Amino acid sequence: MDDLTKARKAFTGVCIQQTFPGDIHTVTFQSKPTRTNEDRYVVEHWDDIGEPASPSWIFLAVLDGHGGPQTSEYTASHLPSLIHAALRSLVGAAKPETPDPKSISDLLSSQIKLFDHEIGKVVKRVCRNIRNLDDSQVQGIVEGPHRDALLRANSGTTLTMALIDGERTNLWVAGVGDSSVVLSKALPGGHRTGERLLTLHNVSTPSEYARVALAHPSYEANILKNDRVLGGVTVTRAIGDFAFKLPRIYSRRVFTKLPSTWSDRVHEGVTQYNFTPPYITAASEARHINLKGIRDQHPILLLYSDGVNGAIDGYFLFRQQNPCKADPANVVGALLGDMLDPVFMRAVFQHGVESKWIGENGNRAVELLGNILGGTDASRLTQVLDPALLSDDGERDLYVDDTTIVICPLVCPVPMVPS
């Protein structure tokens, strides 16, 4: 067995991968044993939307947790069923007509906002009259029956979701934060390209940076300290993260007493610089895409956490001196092609890539991630698996963030799933 084959075998062994009906492929990855993967993903087939015996709808989501896995886990476990129920009601009320696409976009956005609101509402109810509570009373709350609710309010998660109707003629996407949803389309000659469908809600997006800055008084000097919200995080929209949404007394008296993976700079920000919350919002972006006009381009949908963007940028991996400037959406879209442009790919990664290296029936999400992290370079694939070389917090090289990818083709019919 040659070095590349060994490295790929070791890499696939670390990947947590799954294949679902409809040829949907997923992978989630974190190779540092001391780190807990805070990403979550959802793949569900809903066979009770619309007329009886109609093809199943598909719901997909990728969630990138931060500060702990509690919010991403809770959201992945509970939000899909709420959206499912609301969608059934909307479609049922519209019969025999089909709901207006915008009404479904609005439904997705409203469900995200309501879900987040309920998380924060519990904190305010449990910590009622927080200014008048003594330390022992606060400690009793922190250690009491509502501890889990406080943990999922303190941590946070991005959310990128997609909803596909049974005929695969309509696609809805919605999200908060900087996880991505990308549409890959075929080009002549076997190549592909990729288009980002939602804005990245982080401080690197100029419109988001400006929105956050302008929402607060100009005399606040630390709103975007060191290009981070309150000096702590880069995301500008998220579910949870109530230390950035509620007055700082909640952080000083409650949130800082909870276990989390937040860094010291986050604690500093929410306890010292929080004057006019909220600084992070759960107001989502949603849009509808009509798939009828692009069927001949064999569209493929990708959802992924920002670990993919970081790996393509390469700053914390193998391109510290000259990070890649290519659009990650175009890169991942192109990597799904049967034909890969070797000049373009080497310019992006500074290593070779190979289509179908995992085999015709292998997991395409694993193949995609393998090409991003090391491609045909056995040494690179080996390094990203070596705990001794990997940083825990991104403060030094090498650093591999939690990374999750969901790939779903949009041309084949969705199989019925037995109830």
Mean pLDDT of successive 10-residue segments in the chain (419 residues)? 95 97 97 94 94 88 98 98 97 84 98 98 96 95 97 98 95 98 93 97 98 97 97 98 98 96 95 98 98 94 97 88 92 96 95 95 97 97 92 73 97 49
**CB atoms closer than 10 angstroms to residue 327:** 17
**Smallest Cα–Cα separation from 276: which of 208, 223, 201, 206?**
223
Q: Encoding tokens for residue 384?
A: 């990203």
Q: Are strands 156-157 and 239-240 parallel, antiparallel or unpaired?
A: antiparallel
Q: Is residue 289 domain-resident?
A: yes
* Alpha carbon distance 364, 308 (integer Å): 15
414 occurs within a structural domain: no
- The pTM (predicted TM-score) of the whole model is 0.95
Q: Is residue 295 part of a domain?
A: yes
Looking at residue 374, what is its pLDDT? 96
C-alpha neighbours within 13 Å on the C-beta side of residue 291: 24
pLDDT at 52: 77
Burial class (CB in 10 A: 0-12, 13-18, 19+), 313: middle
pLDDT at 51: 77
Q: How many domains are contained in the chain? A: 1
Segments forming the whole domain that contains residue 150 = 3-31+40-409
User: Could you tell me if 339 and 186 are in contact, meaning their C-beta atoms sit under 8 angstroms apart?
Assistant: no
Instruction: Look up tokens 């990855």; give the residue.
Output: 29
**pLDDT for res 396:** 60
In DSSP notation, 278-306 reads: -SSB---EEEEEE-GGGGGG--EEEEE-T
Rounded to whole angstroms, the Cα distance separating 200 from 40 reads 18
In this structure, what DSSP letter does residue 45 have?
A: E
- Quote the CA–CA distance of 320 and 326 in Å, as a whole number: 15
The pLDDT of residue 4: 97
Determine, yes or no, domain membership for 419.
Answer: no
User: Which residues on adjacent β-strands are paired with residue 407?
Assistant: 25, 302
First to last CA, the chain: 45
From the list 10, 72, 4, 12, the residue with the least C-alpha distance to 364 is: 12
| b (16+ CB within 10 A) / e for 367-406 | bbbbbbbbbbbbebbbbbbeeeebeeeeeeebbbbbbbbb
CATH of the domain at 17: 3.60.40.10
- The answer as to whether 320 is a domain residue is yes
Residue 72 domain-assigned (yes or no): yes
The answer to whether position 341 is within a domain reads yes
Distance CA 214, CA 389 (A): 41
417 part of a folded domain: no
Closest CA to 153 of 70, 247, 80, 252: 70
What is the model's pLDDT at position 189? 84
